[in-house]
Structure 1
């Protein structure tokens, strides 16, 4: 299929630029943490096809996630029902995936792993608990250095274990949690810090990964939608989890599970519903969705022991997953959204009008990142896509871009072909464009501008 995705194209580009030796956050910029760049860079090494290579890594990542979902479900439910939970979770995932290759998707194994450990940790020996706390600390660090919000469920798990330790006055458990989870966090964090200090990009990495994002969350860049399908996608996991937690507590009076559910619900809400509410953010709540369904089904535990009930729930889950997949795949709007054939053709058309030896002198302004992958070129400028979107959150980015255009030998500028340009975000750029560049070529998607003056 001729589809590159939006964020996915940005992330693949970052992986390619890293593998090409470019310095993260100095020679190319995005507001995701370094671990995402490392994941993309590793994924691109698997086969000699960038999209297929990342897809293979996604399959491995999702396979591990499914195993962990099954293990959590198997703690409470029979074998076939546990497989059904996996399929129902995949169904919910299809509502939030939004093109895939997102930080939320890469976070799922660590979230489910920590949830599994938290559910079972009281059955472990003291020595095994220490190992598990190290794993929790490492998982937290991996997500901390990818996207801060993504570690919310892990924070909830840590808070729960702390509460249990304090409630039981188990100071040994409390100290072990603090010490060993910190050790795990440092095992991941210290090499990352040393690496970025070594390449001279530590402050730039901190700015992009954290400071920029604190500016970003202050903006309501996606208005809340009250369409039923949008509310469904945003609230499905939290709603089912609340129902499951309430019914489970009413039936079993398990106060420890209730405390865990409260921690998960509060942190899950804060990390996905405070600030922008993109659908792919809701992927972070899939562990709550899985646990909620597990709790609901565990209420009928006696009946579920009967083979017939197991098969019915298993088959129902299977039919729901495959039925929705077939339905979605044949939706006209979905087919249209997944087909970038015209943009690919128009990008190649633009590329043909740029001399091959001058393609390194191209600056794409507000152009979809797929453009670079289609043209099979790497950007040679730090802010390589969605410049005005970044500049909306930090005006200094636009000033840096305008200065770059004036001081560097940028021969070609590619723009989206829009009926109307809102020049209020960056009026200086459009003044430079009108003064120093002439239109060279255009098609339905893109406009090619050529420099007419020299510095």
Structure 2
């Protein structure tokens, strides 16, 4: 019997897919601040991606003329979003929506490998409720990586579900190569997700002496990697940025995320795991089931069992052991919520038969949507206002009103946080390489602060934003050229953020 294509599988479950599509749109519309419902996504990282992407699309070369230590592909994604809408996040929202539709469809298809339509539909609604806690305001690199990981997970399970599978379709390995390469050029350490399952597939082919199929799969994977890698490397090479990209994206990130001593690494991993467990006990248990119990119980291929367990353990260690850790990092591990829910559903279905009408399906989708909206609380006060008018004095809008009085203003953000969103609100294209300040210590990368000092001495930017909690605040506060060349225009005290007895305070300076 001829194998069904993914599109044929989706078409055969048309009713469920239509409802899931509508649910996904409204879910993202209300729970991602990329949505046109919100005036701005104030998250620092998102604005970094958008404005470097903007600069790249306007001719400034990545890494040599616009600096950040993230991978080049995330800037390209945001740059494409900028081409769609150059003054809002609407373009990125469209890309994000396409990604989430792929995510939800693939979750449904993955569950359908093991379950009936009704259970698969419910799992597709439940998974976003767990993800939403770590998506923050939407659009993170981890969010896009999760989408790519889920697609590969589906094909891994399809191969490993049967014990006697001897041949692997090279076109799927080609897809794995593309996804692997995309993640490598966004956040390289997360490619660990692909390592053990890919090796498991190749070992299976080798054991069964499918040498021709093995060769085809290896070549297909390499070709898939090249599809993404060659254009990016060619762009960097043509613009004489290949060396700088390697120094920043590879070497600096190795230094930035380098492990501490063995005892400190174990201590950090334990404390982060414990915190993760306390923050989401239910999710942690379900993911543990998905990462460990599911492969043992429901993956028939023995090499597949080992591969998927090693995949989960290595990804967990990569996420929770490094020197640096941010609250949204666990999002990548939430991929194992899918097999966890499948395991639980396989247990429940022994005792419960489910058959839903269209009205009941819509009701469940509506309830899942309301859960997601209430979890975000984007409609309350506290920096998550739905319109400018609710809080016109947030720092990004308060400062923007002053900056917008200048024709073609230029801006330098010496801190992080809200200052990065001013570039987006005022539609400012960065005019200097180090136009913002990622949280990188001076001893790790001294040239960033040194160059920013020169910008100030040479009065290369019209406006400067700095906050008192930034890494280099004291250096610039005491810099004589700063005092001589720039005058304080406005101050914003954020009383929601306090460290010790000091509130978070933002300052806006203008060139004299």
Same fold by TM-score greater than 0.5? yes
* 1:83 aligned partner: 121
Task: Give the conservation status (yes or no) of the 8 Å contact 2:81–2:89.
Answer: no
Cα 1:400/1:303, change in 2 over 3 Å: same
* 1:217 aligned partner: 257
Cα 1:178/1:417, change in 2 over 3 Å: closer
- Bigger CA drift: 242-251 or 437-446? 242-251
Q: Secondary structure at the match of 1:441?
A: strand
Looking at structure 2, the residues matched to 206 and 196 of structure 1 have their Cα atoms a distance apart, in angstroms, of: 10
* 1:327 aligned partner: 374
Specify every segment of 5 or more residues in structure 2 that has no aligned partner in the other structure, as ranges. 1-37, 261-267, 386-390, 494-505
Looking at structure 2, the residues matched to 417 and 189 of structure 1 have their Cα atoms a distance apart, in angstroms, of: 38
Looking at structure 1, the residues matched to 396 and 120 of structure 2 have their Cα atoms a distance apart, in angstroms, of: 43
Task: Give the conservation status (yes or no) of the 8 Å contact 1:417–1:447.
Answer: yes
Q: Secondary structure at the match of 2:328?
A: helix
Task: Give the conservation status (yes or no) of the 8 Å contact 1:416–1:447.
Answer: yes
Matched, 1:338 2:384: yes
Q: 1:411: how far off?
A: 5.7
- Bigger CA drift: 189-198 or 117-126? 117-126
Task: Give the conservation status (yes or no) of the 8 Å contact 1:72–1:116.
Answer: yes
* 1:26 aligned partner: 64
Which of 423, 427, 435 is the aligned partner of 1:376? 427
Looking at structure 2, the residues matched to 197 and 159 of structure 1 have their Cα atoms a distance apart, in angstroms, of: 31
Q: 1:89: how far off?
A: 1.1
Looking at structure 1, the residues matched to 357 and 312 of structure 2 have their Cα atoms a distance apart, in angstroms, of: 29
* 1:8 aligned partner: 46
* 2:311 aligned partner: 264
Q: Secondary structure at the match of 2:382?
A: helix
Q: Secondary structure at the match of 1:443?
A: strand
Cα 1:437/1:84, change in 2 over 3 Å: same
Q: 1:326: how far off?
A: 4.2
* 1:414 aligned partner: 464
Cα 1:82/1:182, change in 2 over 3 Å: same
Alignment TM-score, normalising by the size of structure 2: 0.75
Alignment TM-score, normalising by the size of structure 1: 0.84
Which of 145, 149, 161 is the aligned partner of 1:111? 149
| Residues 39-438 of structure 1 mapped to structure 2, 5 A cutoff | 39-47=77-85, 49-121=87-159, 129-168=169-208, 170-218=210-258, 230-232=276-278, 239-244=285-290, 247-248=293-294, 254=300, 256=302, 257-275=304-322, 276-303=324-351, 306-308=353-355, 318=365, 321-330=368-377, 335-339=381-385, 341=392, 342-351=394-403, 355-356=406-407, 359-360=409-410, 362-366=411-415, 368-386=419-437, 389=440, 391=442, 393-406=444-457, 408-410=458-460, 412-416=462-466, 418=468, 427=475, 430-433=478-481, 436-438=484-486
Cα 1:390/1:411, change in 2 over 3 Å: same
Looking at structure 2, the residues matched to 60 and 393 of structure 1 have their Cα atoms a distance apart, in angstroms, of: 37
Specify every segment of 5 or more residues in structure 1 that has no aligned partner in the other structure, as ranges. none
Cα 1:429/1:165, change in 2 over 3 Å: farther
Cα 1:248/1:33, change in 2 over 3 Å: closer
Q: 1:173: how far off?
A: 4.6
Deviations 1:130-168 (A, max 9, x none): 111111111111111111023232223213213434554
Cα 1:97/1:233, change in 2 over 3 Å: farther
Looking at structure 2, the residues matched to 363 and 250 of structure 1 have their Cα atoms a distance apart, in angstroms, of: 53
Task: Give the conservation status (yes or no) of the 8 Å contact 1:248–1:295.
Answer: yes
Task: Give the conservation status (yes or no) of the 8 Å contact 1:95–1:233.
Answer: no
Cα 1:259/1:194, change in 2 over 3 Å: same
Q: What RMSD over aligned residues (CA atoms) do the two structures have, in Å?
A: 3.6
Q: Secondary structure at the match of 1:142?
A: helix
By percentage of residues, which structure has more helix? 1
Matched, 1:447 2:507: yes
Looking at structure 2, the residues matched to 323 and 37 of structure 1 have their Cα atoms a distance apart, in angstroms, of: 32
Cα 1:370/1:206, change in 2 over 3 Å: same
Looking at structure 1, the residues matched to 444 and 357 of structure 2 have their Cα atoms a distance apart, in angstroms, of: 52
Task: Give the conservation status (yes or no) of the 8 Å contact 1:33–1:209.
Answer: yes
Task: Give the conservation status (yes or no) of the 8 Å contact 2:378–2:384.
Answer: no
Task: Give the conservation status (yes or no) of the 8 Å contact 2:476–2:482.
Answer: no
Q: 1:180: how far off?
A: 2.1
Looking at structure 2, the residues matched to 127 and 160 of structure 1 have their Cα atoms a distance apart, in angstroms, of: 13
Looking at structure 2, the residues matched to 154 and 263 of structure 1 have their Cα atoms a distance apart, in angstroms, of: 10
Cα 1:315/1:447, change in 2 over 3 Å: closer
Q: Size of the alignment, in residue pairs?
A: 442
